[in-house]
Structure 1
Amino acid sequence: MTNSVATRITEALLAYTGFKTQGEIARACGFNNPNMLSMIKSGRTKLPLKRIPALCRELGIRPEEMLLLAMTEEFRDPEANPLWIAFGGRMPDSEELRHLMSASG
């Protein structure tokens, strides 16, 4: 797994083979500022959790992977991370999250 949201988004944009510009992708994900992806890639701003599903659809990223990265960055103390709490004192892996997400959908 990639070690940061910024790195993962950068990798996904470099691998992107679609026809949208980075600004168009940002707008499709609900960002008002078309430069948001640049700001996230550079670490100037965090990826809002509510934008993860749309961004993952646009870039072909597994949402559970991005959620784990974002939650780990948001909650530096693992014991304060809602995923840690929900999984009984441990962080789930992306496969556990994918299973949970598919079971609820």
Structure 2
Amino acid sequence: MTPASVGRPRTRSGSAGWQARAWDGVFFAESGTKADTLATLRAARAWAAERNEDNLAAARAYLSGHAPFPERAAQNTLVGRFLTDYYRLVATWADWATTLVQD
């Protein structure tokens, strides 16, 4: 994400669908293999890391004064913090679950 793209809607086609498939892949893990479950967990972690990079890029753009809509900085900070915490939660959970599945 570039500073110029901050604030523009980003197409997330497939994000909600991916999340549902990921959780289904773990919830119904007995229908697949251990390797399938580990692949799902790796994908969940990668998804969280990628989304958080976008989120952090937006925050850096606001800090440097190069983000569009500076009048929305307060609202975007509130949402940005929520997203940071959510992505961290998904990544931490995926790490924990990977350790559990590997054992």
Larger Rg: 2
User: Which protein is richer in helix relative to its size?
Assistant: 2
TM over 0.5: no
Q: Which has the higher contact order (CA 8 A, sep 6+)?
A: 2
Q: Give me the TM-score of the superposition, normalised by structure 2.
A: 0.31
